[in-house]
Amino acid sequence: MLRTRIITAVIGIPLLWGALYLGGLAWTIVFSLMGFLALYEYLNMMKISGFTPLMITPYGILFVLLLRESLADYCLPLLFGVLLIMILDLVIMYPKRNLNDMAIGFFGAFYIGFLLSYALALQVLLQPFMYIILACILTWSSDVGGYIFGRLWGQRKLTPQLSPNKTWAGAIGGVSLTVILALAAYFILPLENLTLIQLLWLALAGSLAAQFGDLFASAMKRFFAVKDSGNIIPGHGGVLDRFDSFMLVLPVLYYLLYFMI
Spatial neighbors of 108 by CB under 8 A, at least 6 apart, are 39, 42, 43, 46, 58
Answer yes or no: are the C-beta atoms of 2 and 10 closer than 8 Å. Answer: no
Q: Residue type for 136, please?
A: C
**Cα(first)–Cα(last) distance of the chain, in Å?**
42
Query: From the CB of residue 40, how many other CB atoms can be counted at a distance below 10 Å?
Result: 19
Strand (E) or helix (H) holding 261: none
- pTM (2 decimals)? 0.93
Local structure of 227: helix, strand or coil: coil
- Residue 211, classified by CB atoms within 10 Å of its CB into exposed (0-12), middle (13-18) or buried (19+), is buried
Whether omega before 95 lies within 30 degrees of 0, making that bond cis, reads yes
Whether omega before 58 lies within 30 degrees of 0, making that bond cis, reads no
Answer yes or no: are the C-beta atoms of 246 and 210 closer than 8 Å. Answer: yes
**How high is the pLDDT of residue 213?**
96
Output the tens digit of pLDDT for each of the chain's 261 residues: 556 767 777 888 888 889 999 999 999 999 999 999 999 999 999 999 999 998 889 999 999 999 988 888 889 999 999 999 999 988 998 888 899 999 999 999 999 999 999 999 999 888 899 999 999 999 999 999 999 999 999 889 999 888 888 999 999 999 999 999 999 999 999 987 899 999 999 999 999 999 999 999 999 999 999 999 988 887 678 999 999 999 999 999 999 999 987
Answer yes or no: are the C-beta atoms of 236 and 197 closer than 8 Å. Answer: no
**How high is the pLDDT of residue 240?**
95
Rounded Cα distance between 92 and 43, Å, is 20
Strand (E) or helix (H) holding 116: helix 99-121
Closest CA to 194 of 238, 139, 256, 132: 256
Query: What are the structural domain ranges in the chain?
Result: 2-260
